[in-house]
Structure 1
């Protein structure tokens, strides 16, 4: 192989545009709306918060005219096609079900829910209602990920033997903050570990065995964890996550013919290097766009819009069963760490 396959990422401009509404205007919602408006034809038409003043401030900041002081009011708005759920993890299930019951398509921040059981409930509700539902696993829709997916599908890396991925970022200790509060779905696994665990699922599929170890904070959430993820084929993934220390946020895939080393942070737009067995020089792929870090949130939005225009109710790239399987792995890791179910 002397060149890479083309990226199959959905074009950012010129496709179907949806009328979006956002529930819970926090930091991730702001990053999402900013890149949506700057880099695509998608537009946020409404915002809702339990605090009208907070919703109004967000609306003023981003030029959103329709402002609501309750989530129920927004999902009842006939001028909204799809709802983006950007609340803390603990609210994902309830808000997703609220939007689905109102007949809205829904994009739900990762993790899609706190547990696999909650994720199954969301999937069942969406399928029964015939609406589109997807977890906002933005890394799956990045250009580099679509190229790597083609390399894997075409067998260009050979038989995959090992995957490694990490995500650690320091969160200052605050017992009432979202990441340290068990009631809000705190802990490294749900907040950061979902990314390397998803990546292992993306490359290897569902594991046959999960072994986890880690540490628990004084507030009763996981501060960090290391996971060994094995498959029936004998492939393994070495995964780690932490909110106590920072890590490089890299990912590698090693096969019998070649390996891929994805630039840090692997969850954001960037590039990767392909090392071929027996080749003198590696091959380099770089994202041709200027988008970096959370700019990359836009690709999942345009992909969702295209899927909906195509009559789909799930993404073929990141279907609901994958979101459920990832949470099954997290459930098992949390069980082994001694965390409550």
Structure 2
């Protein structure tokens, strides 16, 4: 792609789609040209809100719109495989929300399809595109805290969420882990890579999704990461990384931070803050900018959010779910048998 402006299609019209589109329309080199929903009235209302010229009442029409350079998939993650797959099959490039899919198998299918078609595919892990998180990761790589010994991260919401809410619906991939826990897990992966061992415990709802999950990840280096997520309590939502020579603390909202503090043995604490060019804490523009940069460069994946890294995170999420006993409708177990009843199988954690 050599054109200056990148033409976006938005698939789904929920809250995260609105937040992303609001940031997107402020970028001078981005143009939102189409939106799709399973309900035409929803698509039309979204289009009117953001001045989008075309609104579709089905996903297929958007996927086959030749004027769309890249589709942002913002459905619940239970539909990511179907929605992103449809777009990739039609030759569209895709930015897909996280959790990337329900499980690693679905993620592998999407990655294989994108690589077969030569299309761009990226998980919308905006934390990885945040300038401050990128700087933090660079400091860790450069040895600012020495050898990494431990990582801690949490993300919890107070709720309460009724059983009808998508966060508690097994059919929509509900639960704390895939919606919130993906951030602490991804933060640990960013600094340490894929763990060699996973231990986890959870409190499950009557519907069979995790209301609260804690996991301990370990690496052959001796490093440990404790990660926690919750739908039943508003947590500090902070993160830290500790090494042999110091520590980095990230305050509330670690996954979209505009500040962190580096503590090094024998030195005064150093505070790192976002610059005016970095935008607001809640801004999603950085992932959009990375997608557009990659498309113009002819890249099929982003070095900031590599597909192999996304697959590794999905394997860790799978391992945590296996430890705590959460399986979604239609998933196959170790024997290859599928849960055909449409009910989530529970195993005591």
Secondary structure in 1 matching 2:293: helix
**Contact 1:269-1:292 within 8 A present in 2 as well:** no
| C-alpha displacement of 1:39 | 4.7
Shift of 1:57: 0.4
Q: Using the alignment, how far apart are the partners of 2:194 and 2:28 within structure 1?
A: 33
The offset of 1:38, in angstroms, is: 2.5
1:87-146 deviation line (CA, Å, top 9, x unaligned) = 011100000100000111000000110000000000000000000000000000001011
Call closer, same or farther: CA 1:30–1:141 in 2, change over 3 Å: same
**Aligned counterpart in structure 1 of residue 219 of structure 2, from 221, 227, 231:** 231
Q: CA deviation at 1:154?
A: 1.6
Written as runs of structure 1 = structure 2, the 5 A alignment for 1:1-341 is: 16-39=4-27, 41-279=29-267, 281-289=268-276, 291-295=279-283, 297-340=284-327, 341=331
Number of residue-to-residue matches in the alignment = 325
Does the Cα contact within 8 Å between 1:269 and 1:291 map onto a contact in 2? no
> In the alignment, what sits opposite 1:11?
none
C-alpha contact (below 8 Å) 2:161/2:231 kept by paired residues: no
The answer to whether the Cα contact below 8 Å between 1:32 and 1:294 also exists between their aligned partners in 2 is no
Residue pair 1:40, 1:298 contacting (<8 A) in 2 also:
no
In the TM superposition, residue 153 of structure 1 has moved relative to its aligned partner by 2.2
**Secondary structure in structure 2 of the residue aligned to 1:22:** strand
Q: Helix, strand or coil for the counterpart of 2:256?
A: coil
Runs of 5+ unmatched residues, structure 2: 332-349
Q: Matches of 2:306 and 2:257 in 1, distance apart?
A: 21
Query: Which region of structure 1 is more displaced relative to structure 2, 23-32 or 330-339?
Result: 330-339
Q: Aligned partners of 1:154 and 1:311: how far apart in 2? A: 29
User: Offset of 1:291 from its aligned partner?
Assistant: 2.8
Contact 1:263–1:270 (CA under 8 A) maintained in structure 2: no
* CA pair 39-160 structure 1, distance change in 2 beyond 3 A: same
4+ long deviations beyond 2 Å: 38-41, 170-173, 289-294
Contact 1:210 1:230 in 2 (8 A): yes
Q: 1:250 and 1:93 mapped to 2: Cα distance?
A: 30
The Cα shift of 1:152 comes to 2.0
Query: Greater RCO between the two (CA within 8 Å, min separation 6)?
Result: 1
Contact 1:141–1:300, Cα closer than 8 Å, also in 2:
yes
Distance 1:259 1:313 in 2: 35
State the secondary structure of the residue aligned to 1:267.
Answer: helix
- The alpha-carbon distance between structure 1 residues 311 and 234, as it changes in their structure 2 partners (threshold 3 A), is same
Name the SS of the counterpart of 2:146 in structure 1. Answer: coil
Q: Cα RMSD over matched residues?
A: 1.3
Query: Would the aligned equivalents of 1:258 and 1:276 in 2 still touch at CA under 8 Å?
Result: yes
